[in-house]
Structure 1
Protein backbone atom coordinates (compact mmCIF):
# COMPACT_ATOMS: atom_id res chain seq x y z
CA UNK A 1 0.00 0.00 0.00
CA UNK A 2 2.87 2.35 0.77
CA UNK A 3 4.23 1.91 -2.80
CA UNK A 4 0.85 2.83 -4.27
CA UNK A 5 0.67 6.07 -2.27
CA UNK A 6 4.22 7.01 -3.27
CA UNK A 7 3.51 6.25 -6.96
CA UNK A 8 0.30 8.35 -6.78
CA UNK A 9 2.20 11.23 -5.20
CA UNK A 10 4.92 11.12 -7.87
CA UNK A 11 2.36 10.96 -10.67
CA UNK A 12 0.45 13.87 -9.13
CA UNK A 13 3.63 15.97 -8.95
CA UNK A 14 4.53 15.18 -12.57
CA UNK A 15 1.00 16.05 -13.68
CA UNK A 16 1.13 19.35 -11.76
CA UNK A 17 4.47 20.24 -13.39
CA UNK A 18 3.11 19.46 -16.86
CA UNK A 19 -0.01 21.57 -16.24
CA UNK A 20 2.15 24.45 -14.97
CA UNK A 21 4.44 24.23 -18.04
CA UNK A 22 1.47 24.26 -20.42
CA UNK A 23 -0.14 27.18 -18.59
CA UNK A 24 3.15 29.13 -18.68
CA UNK A 25 3.56 28.49 -22.43
CA UNK A 26 0.02 29.63 -23.14
CA UNK A 27 0.51 32.75 -20.99
CA UNK A 28 3.82 33.72 -22.64
CA UNK A 29 2.41 33.17 -26.12
CA UNK A 30 -0.70 35.20 -25.39
CA UNK A 31 1.08 38.15 -23.77
CA UNK A 32 4.31 38.45 -25.78
CA UNK A 33 4.97 41.59 -27.77
CA UNK A 34 4.39 41.09 -31.44
CA UNK A 35 7.51 41.99 -33.37
CA UNK A 36 6.70 43.88 -36.47
CA UNK A 37 8.34 42.24 -39.41
CA UNK A 38 10.54 44.52 -41.45
CA UNK A 39 9.78 44.28 -45.14
CA UNK A 40 10.78 45.86 -48.42
CA UNK A 41 9.24 49.34 -48.69
CA UNK A 42 9.33 50.03 -44.94
CA UNK A 43 11.26 52.89 -43.43
CA UNK A 44 14.48 51.42 -42.02
CA UNK A 45 14.50 51.62 -38.20
CA UNK A 46 17.08 54.03 -36.84
CA UNK A 47 19.88 52.82 -34.57
CA UNK A 48 23.19 53.98 -33.16
CA UNK A 49 26.21 51.65 -32.98
CA UNK A 50 29.89 52.36 -32.35
CA UNK A 51 32.58 51.09 -34.71
CA UNK A 52 35.96 49.63 -33.76
CA UNK A 53 37.53 53.11 -33.94
CA UNK A 54 35.02 54.54 -31.45
CA UNK A 55 32.99 56.47 -34.06
CA UNK A 56 29.20 56.41 -33.64
CA UNK A 57 27.09 55.43 -36.65
CA UNK A 58 23.46 56.52 -36.57
CA UNK A 59 21.42 55.40 -39.56
CA UNK A 60 19.53 58.71 -39.63
CA UNK A 61 22.84 60.52 -40.29
CA UNK A 62 23.08 58.80 -43.68
CA UNK A 63 19.83 60.16 -45.10
CA UNK A 64 20.42 61.27 -48.68
CA UNK A 65 22.83 58.38 -49.26
CA UNK A 66 22.33 54.73 -50.03
CA UNK A 67 23.23 52.41 -47.14
CA UNK A 68 24.09 48.74 -47.20
CA UNK A 69 23.64 47.15 -43.76
CA UNK A 70 25.42 43.82 -43.45
CA UNK A 71 24.80 41.62 -40.38
CA UNK A 72 27.46 38.95 -39.89
CA UNK A 73 29.54 36.79 -37.53
CA UNK A 74 33.17 35.60 -37.64
CA UNK A 75 31.98 31.98 -37.27
CA UNK A 76 29.66 32.18 -40.33
CA UNK A 77 31.24 30.63 -43.48
CA UNK A 78 29.15 32.61 -46.04
CA UNK A 79 29.95 35.80 -44.07
CA UNK A 80 33.67 35.07 -44.39
CA UNK A 81 33.32 34.38 -48.11
CA UNK A 82 31.48 37.63 -48.89
CA UNK A 83 33.69 40.03 -46.87
CA UNK A 84 36.44 40.52 -49.52
CA UNK A 85 33.73 41.15 -52.15
CA UNK A 86 31.98 43.65 -49.88
CA UNK A 87 35.29 45.40 -49.25
CA UNK A 88 35.95 45.77 -52.99
CA UNK A 89 32.42 47.08 -53.63
CA UNK A 90 32.75 49.50 -50.70
CA UNK A 91 35.98 50.90 -52.15
CA UNK A 92 34.22 51.47 -55.47
CA UNK A 93 31.09 53.14 -54.06
CA UNK A 94 32.17 54.97 -50.89
CA UNK A 95 32.70 58.22 -52.79
CA UNK A 96 29.50 57.80 -54.82
CA UNK A 97 27.00 58.26 -51.99
CA UNK A 98 26.68 54.61 -50.94
CA UNK A 99 27.80 53.70 -47.43
CA UNK A 100 28.38 50.33 -45.79
CA UNK A 101 27.66 49.68 -42.13
CA UNK A 102 28.74 46.22 -41.13
CA UNK A 103 27.09 44.90 -37.96
CA UNK A 104 28.74 42.03 -36.12
CA UNK A 105 26.43 40.09 -33.84
CA UNK A 106 27.62 40.30 -30.22
CA UNK A 107 31.21 39.13 -30.54
CA UNK A 108 34.16 40.61 -28.67
CA UNK A 109 36.13 43.58 -29.98
CA UNK A 110 39.18 41.31 -30.04
CA UNK A 111 37.53 38.70 -32.28
CA UNK A 112 36.14 41.29 -34.66
CA UNK A 113 39.37 43.30 -34.82
CA UNK A 114 41.36 40.12 -35.63
CA UNK A 115 38.86 39.26 -38.37
CA UNK A 116 39.05 42.78 -39.83
CA UNK A 117 42.86 42.70 -39.76
CA UNK A 118 43.04 39.22 -41.34
CA UNK A 119 40.72 40.20 -44.19
CA UNK A 120 42.14 43.78 -44.47
CA UNK A 121 38.64 45.31 -44.35
CA UNK A 122 38.30 49.07 -44.45
CA UNK A 123 34.56 49.76 -44.14
CA UNK A 124 32.89 50.74 -40.83
CA UNK A 125 32.69 47.69 -38.56
CA UNK A 126 30.24 47.94 -35.66
CA UNK A 127 29.28 45.39 -33.01
CA UNK A 128 25.68 44.90 -31.87
CA UNK A 129 26.69 43.83 -28.35
CA UNK A 130 23.11 43.52 -27.04
CA UNK A 131 21.62 42.17 -30.30
CA UNK A 132 19.06 44.99 -30.16
CA UNK A 133 19.59 46.07 -33.78
CA UNK A 134 19.51 42.44 -34.88
CA UNK A 135 16.15 42.01 -33.12
CA UNK A 136 14.80 45.29 -34.50
CA UNK A 137 15.61 44.15 -38.03
CA UNK A 138 14.28 40.62 -37.32
CA UNK A 139 17.58 39.05 -38.35
CA UNK A 140 17.57 35.34 -37.62
CA UNK A 141 19.96 34.11 -40.30
CA UNK A 142 23.45 35.27 -41.20
CA UNK A 143 24.58 36.85 -43.35
CA UNK A 144 21.72 39.31 -43.74
CA UNK A 145 22.01 42.39 -45.92
CA UNK A 146 19.56 45.30 -46.10
CA UNK A 147 19.71 47.77 -48.98
CA UNK A 148 18.40 51.18 -47.93
CA UNK A 149 17.84 54.00 -50.41
CA UNK A 150 18.56 57.71 -49.88
CA UNK A 151 15.06 58.29 -48.43
CA UNK A 152 15.64 55.64 -45.75
CA UNK A 153 13.35 53.01 -47.27
CA UNK A 154 14.36 49.35 -47.43
CA UNK A 155 14.76 48.36 -51.08
CA UNK A 156 15.93 44.77 -50.69
CA UNK A 157 16.59 42.19 -47.97
CA UNK A 158 19.10 39.43 -48.72
CA UNK A 159 19.80 36.44 -46.49
CA UNK A 160 22.59 34.63 -48.31
CA UNK A 161 26.26 35.15 -49.15
CA UNK A 162 26.65 37.77 -51.88
CA UNK A 163 29.26 37.80 -54.65
CA UNK A 164 31.26 40.83 -55.78
CA UNK A 165 29.22 41.39 -58.98
CA UNK A 166 26.02 41.17 -56.93
CA UNK A 167 27.31 43.67 -54.34
CA UNK A 168 28.23 46.08 -57.14
CA UNK A 169 24.80 45.73 -58.80
CA UNK A 170 22.98 46.14 -55.48
CA UNK A 171 25.04 49.18 -54.48
CA UNK A 172 24.45 50.71 -57.92
CA UNK A 173 20.69 50.24 -57.32
CA UNK A 174 20.75 52.37 -54.14
CA UNK A 175 23.17 55.00 -55.38
CA UNK A 176 21.56 58.46 -55.12
Structure 2
Protein backbone atom coordinates (compact mmCIF):
# COMPACT_ATOMS: atom_id res chain seq x y z
CA UNK A 1 0.00 0.00 0.00
CA UNK A 2 1.48 3.36 -0.98
CA UNK A 3 1.75 6.07 1.68
CA UNK A 4 -0.94 8.02 -0.14
CA UNK A 5 -3.32 5.07 0.15
CA UNK A 6 -2.27 4.02 3.66
CA UNK A 7 -4.91 6.34 5.07
CA UNK A 8 -7.83 4.80 3.20
CA UNK A 9 -8.59 2.25 5.95
CA UNK A 10 -8.48 5.09 8.49
CA UNK A 11 -10.78 7.17 6.32
CA UNK A 12 -13.28 4.30 6.17
CA UNK A 13 -13.03 3.86 9.94
CA UNK A 14 -13.44 7.61 10.41
CA UNK A 15 -16.64 7.53 8.35
CA UNK A 16 -18.04 4.75 10.51
CA UNK A 17 -17.06 6.55 13.70
CA UNK A 18 -18.52 9.84 12.50
CA UNK A 19 -21.78 8.17 11.57
CA UNK A 20 -22.07 7.04 15.17
CA UNK A 21 -21.15 10.40 16.61
CA UNK A 22 -24.45 12.11 15.89
CA UNK A 23 -24.60 15.85 15.72
CA UNK A 24 -23.74 16.84 19.23
CA UNK A 25 -22.29 20.18 18.30
CA UNK A 26 -20.56 22.03 21.05
CA UNK A 27 -21.19 25.62 22.04
CA UNK A 28 -20.94 28.09 19.21
CA UNK A 29 -19.83 31.65 19.05
CA UNK A 30 -20.87 33.62 15.97
CA UNK A 31 -21.51 30.42 14.01
CA UNK A 32 -18.12 28.95 14.85
CA UNK A 33 -17.25 26.40 17.48
CA UNK A 34 -16.22 28.24 20.61
CA UNK A 35 -13.05 27.30 22.40
CA UNK A 36 -14.01 25.71 25.67
CA UNK A 37 -11.94 26.65 28.71
CA UNK A 38 -10.66 23.05 28.79
CA UNK A 39 -9.57 23.16 25.13
CA UNK A 40 -5.94 23.59 26.11
CA UNK A 41 -6.19 20.49 28.28
CA UNK A 42 -7.73 18.16 25.66
CA UNK A 43 -4.31 16.89 24.67
CA UNK A 44 -4.77 17.78 21.01
CA UNK A 45 -2.29 20.11 19.34
CA UNK A 46 -4.74 22.54 17.73
CA UNK A 47 -7.60 24.34 19.46
CA UNK A 48 -10.83 24.10 17.47
CA UNK A 49 -11.25 27.88 17.55
CA UNK A 50 -7.75 28.38 16.12
CA UNK A 51 -8.35 25.83 13.37
CA UNK A 52 -11.64 27.52 12.49
CA UNK A 53 -9.99 30.94 12.43
CA UNK A 54 -7.18 29.67 10.18
CA UNK A 55 -9.49 28.06 7.63
CA UNK A 56 -12.81 29.95 7.87
CA UNK A 57 -14.53 26.58 8.38
CA UNK A 58 -16.40 25.31 11.42
CA UNK A 59 -14.40 22.45 12.95
CA UNK A 60 -15.17 19.99 15.71
CA UNK A 61 -12.83 17.66 17.52
CA UNK A 62 -14.44 14.30 16.77
CA UNK A 63 -12.00 11.80 18.17
CA UNK A 64 -8.78 11.52 20.09
CA UNK A 65 -6.73 8.33 20.30
CA UNK A 66 -3.77 7.80 22.60
CA UNK A 67 -0.91 5.45 21.72
CA UNK A 68 -2.26 4.88 18.22
CA UNK A 69 0.20 3.09 15.92
CA UNK A 70 1.00 5.13 12.84
CA UNK A 71 -0.13 3.46 9.64
CA UNK A 72 3.19 4.23 7.95
CA UNK A 73 5.35 3.08 10.89
CA UNK A 74 3.37 0.84 13.24
CA UNK A 75 6.14 0.73 15.84
CA UNK A 76 5.65 4.47 16.40
CA UNK A 77 2.77 5.44 18.67
CA UNK A 78 1.05 8.81 18.44
CA UNK A 79 -1.71 10.83 19.97
CA UNK A 80 -4.10 11.19 17.04
CA UNK A 81 -6.74 13.89 16.89
CA UNK A 82 -9.43 13.90 14.20
CA UNK A 83 -11.22 17.14 13.42
CA UNK A 84 -14.19 17.43 11.08
CA UNK A 85 -15.79 20.30 9.18
CA UNK A 86 -19.32 19.55 8.02
CA UNK A 87 -19.50 22.84 6.12
CA UNK A 88 -16.95 21.53 3.58
CA UNK A 89 -18.45 18.17 2.58
CA UNK A 90 -16.29 15.77 0.62
CA UNK A 91 -18.36 13.30 -1.34
CA UNK A 92 -21.10 13.53 1.29
CA UNK A 93 -18.76 13.16 4.30
CA UNK A 94 -17.36 15.95 6.46
CA UNK A 95 -13.89 17.20 5.64
CA UNK A 96 -11.40 15.48 7.98
CA UNK A 97 -8.15 16.93 9.28
CA UNK A 98 -5.87 14.68 11.30
CA UNK A 99 -3.09 15.71 13.65
CA UNK A 100 -0.56 13.12 14.84
CA UNK A 101 1.59 14.03 17.84
CA UNK A 102 4.74 12.00 18.38
CA UNK A 103 7.16 12.69 21.20
CA UNK A 104 10.50 11.32 22.31
CA UNK A 105 13.05 9.61 20.09
CA UNK A 106 10.42 8.72 17.47
CA UNK A 107 9.84 12.41 16.70
CA UNK A 108 13.06 12.51 14.66
CA UNK A 109 11.89 9.52 12.62
CA UNK A 110 8.55 11.21 11.92
CA UNK A 111 10.32 14.37 10.79
CA UNK A 112 12.63 12.42 8.47
CA UNK A 113 9.73 10.36 7.10
CA UNK A 114 7.71 13.51 6.42
CA UNK A 115 10.40 14.99 4.20
CA UNK A 116 11.09 11.66 2.48
CA UNK A 117 7.41 10.90 1.84
CA UNK A 118 6.82 14.41 0.54
CA UNK A 119 9.71 14.06 -1.93
CA UNK A 120 8.80 10.48 -2.89
CA UNK A 121 5.32 11.68 -3.85
CA UNK A 122 6.62 14.51 -6.03
CA UNK A 123 6.38 17.26 -3.44
CA UNK A 124 8.66 19.81 -1.86
CA UNK A 125 8.86 20.81 1.78
CA UNK A 126 8.61 24.59 2.19
CA UNK A 127 10.21 26.66 4.94
CA UNK A 128 6.74 26.94 6.50
CA UNK A 129 6.80 23.16 7.12
CA UNK A 130 4.22 22.37 4.47
CA UNK A 131 4.51 19.82 1.67
CA UNK A 132 3.39 21.17 -1.69
CA UNK A 133 2.42 18.69 -4.39
CA UNK A 134 0.78 19.51 -7.69
CA UNK A 135 0.18 23.10 -6.61
CA UNK A 136 -1.67 22.22 -3.40
CA UNK A 137 -0.81 21.71 0.26
CA UNK A 138 -2.69 19.10 2.24
CA UNK A 139 -0.09 18.33 4.91
CA UNK A 140 2.46 19.97 7.11
CA UNK A 141 4.83 19.35 9.99
CA UNK A 142 5.30 21.42 13.14
CA UNK A 143 7.06 20.97 16.44
CA UNK A 144 10.63 21.09 17.58
CA UNK A 145 13.10 19.07 19.55
CA UNK A 146 11.61 15.76 20.63
CA UNK A 147 8.08 16.59 19.44
CA UNK A 148 6.66 16.26 15.93
CA UNK A 149 3.12 17.18 14.93
CA UNK A 150 2.06 16.06 11.48
CA UNK A 151 -1.15 17.70 10.29
CA UNK A 152 -2.98 16.68 7.14
CA UNK A 153 -6.29 16.70 5.35
CA UNK A 154 -7.48 13.12 5.06
CA UNK A 155 -10.15 13.34 2.39
CA UNK A 156 -9.90 16.72 0.64
CA UNK A 157 -10.83 16.81 -3.01
CA UNK A 158 -8.72 18.93 -5.38
CA UNK A 159 -10.94 22.01 -5.11
CA UNK A 160 -10.94 21.92 -1.30
CA UNK A 161 -7.19 21.30 -1.18
CA UNK A 162 -6.60 24.30 -3.45
CA UNK A 163 -8.91 26.48 -1.36
CA UNK A 164 -7.19 25.51 1.92
CA UNK A 165 -3.60 25.67 0.60
CA UNK A 166 -3.10 29.31 1.69
CA UNK A 167 -4.43 28.37 5.15
CA UNK A 168 -1.86 25.68 5.90
CA UNK A 169 0.87 27.97 7.31
CA UNK A 170 -1.77 29.41 9.71
CA UNK A 171 -2.89 25.90 10.63
CA UNK A 172 0.69 24.96 11.49
CA UNK A 173 1.18 28.23 13.38
CA UNK A 174 -1.83 27.26 15.54
CA UNK A 175 -0.13 24.06 16.70
CA UNK A 176 0.61 24.34 20.39
Q: TM-score, normalised by structure 2?
A: 0.27
Q: Where is the strand percentage greater, Structure 1 or Structure 2?
A: 2
More helix by percentage: 1
TM-score, normalized by length of structure 1?
A: 0.27
Structure label with greater radius of gyration: 1
* Structure ranking higher on relative contact order (CA contacts 8 Å, 6+ apart): 1
